Amino acid sequence: MSASIRARKPIGVFDSGLGGLSIIREVRKILPRESIAYFGDLAHLPYGIKSTEQIRQFSLQNADFLVRLGVKLLVVACNSSSSAAFKWLQRRVPVPVVDVIQPVVREAAKVTRTGRIAVIGTSATIESGAYPRALLELNRRFQITVQPCPLFVPLVEEGWRHDRIAESVVKKYLIPVKNKRPDVLILGCTHYPLLKPMIRKVLGPGIRLLDAVKPATEEIKSTLIRLGLQTGQRGDGKMHIYLSDRPRNFIRVGEQFLGEKLTHVHQVHLS
C-alpha cells in the first residue's frame, strides 16, 4: 500500500470503556482531518481489577479488531492495558502503537522540580508498577508515591463528582499522598480528570495535576508526522465508535468525555 493511501486510514483507539473518548476529543481538536475508529470493550470492563494475562488477552482482541478495520496507528487509551500490555502488543501488532503512560511520564519528568512524583490509578495499574518503572527509567533519583483509588471510577460514573461524598473519598485517598509532598500528581486513569476540581480543592495549589490527554495526543501527532502518516484529505475526519456491549447509561458518561454527541455507534461482538 502506498504511503498516501495508508495515510488516509483512520487512527484506531481502544479502551475498556468510554474514558478514552477524552483523548479523541483532543485529537479532533488538534488533528481535525484525521478519521478515528474507537473501540470500547464494554462487555469486559473494567480492566482495572483483572489480571495481567486477562488484560493482555482482551487488549489483543481489541487491537486485532481495529487492525482488521485497517487503522494506520493504534492508540491504547486504557491505563490498565497500557501498563499490562503496551510493549507486549507492540510485538504483536503490524502498526505503530502509542500508549497513555509513556507520554505523560515524560511530561512529568520534564515539569517536576523536586523529583517527588505521585501517581494514582486503578488497582491493576498501580499493582503493575508500570508508572514507577517508566519514571525511574528516565531518572533513577525520582521519589515516587503511588496510590490506587478504586472508588474514583464508580463515583464518576454515578455522576457524584462535586458532592460531600466525593470530597470524603478524595480526602481519604489523597491526604496521605499530599503528606509525601509531591510537586506533580499523575492522574493515571482516563476517568480521573473529571474529578480534577475536587482533587485540586483537596490538594491545594502546590501540586501540578497531569493527565494523559494532551501528552498522548502530542505523541500521536508526532508519530504520524515522523512516519509520514498524516492524512492529506480535506475536510473533517470521520469518527466511528464500536462497542462490545450495549452502552446503557454509558452514553451520558461518554458524552462528558467526548464533549460532543455520540453518533455512528456500532455494537460488535468479538469472541
In angstroms, the CA 10 to CA 37 distance is: 6
For its own copies, the closer CB: 31 or 126: 126
Expressed in percent and rounded to 5, the helix, strand and coil fractions of the chain are 45, 15, 35
Known catalytic residue at 149: no
Give residues with Cβ within 8 angstroms of 251, minimum separation 6.
Answer: 262
251 makes contact with its own copies (CB under 8 A): no
CA distances to 34, 76, 91 from 56, in Å = 27, 12, 12
Which of 2, 179, 263, 271 is in the footprint of its own copies by CB under 8 A? 271
54 makes contact with its own copies (CB under 8 A): yes
DSSP code of residue 195: G
In the beta sheet, which residues pair with residue 64? Answer: none
For its own copies, the closer CB: 42 or 174: 42
Take residue 119 and report the three cell numbers written for it.
Answer: 501517581
Which of 109, 136, 151, 251 is in the footprint of its own copies by CB under 8 A? 151
In angstroms, the CA 245 to CA 12 distance is: 18
Which of 1, 3, 111, 165 is in the footprint of its own copies by CB under 8 A? 165
161 makes contact with its own copies (CB under 8 A): no
The minimum distance between CB 240 and its own copies, in angstroms, equals 20
For its own copies, the closer CB: 124 or 239: 124
Whether the bond between 46 and the residue before it is cis, its omega within 30 degrees of 0, is: yes
197 makes contact with its own copies (CB under 8 A): no
Grouping H, G, I as helix, E, B as strand and the rest as coil, residue 241 is strand
Known catalytic residue at 78: yes
Part of the chain binding its own copies (CB under 8 A), chosen from 6-14, 93-101, 113-121, 151-159 = 151-159
CA torsion sign for 65, 70, 74, 75 is: negative
**DSSP H or E stretch at residue 153:** helix 152-158
- Pattern of binders to its own copies over 10-29, x per CB under 8 A? --------------------
155 makes contact with its own copies (CB under 8 A): yes
Q: Which of 78, 85, 149, 202 is catalytic?
A: 78
174 makes contact with its own copies (CB under 8 A): no
60 makes contact with its own copies (CB under 8 A): no
- Pattern of binders to its own copies over 121-150, x per CB under 8 A? --xx--x----------------------x
Give me the amino acid identity at 15.
D
| Catalytic site positions | 78, 189
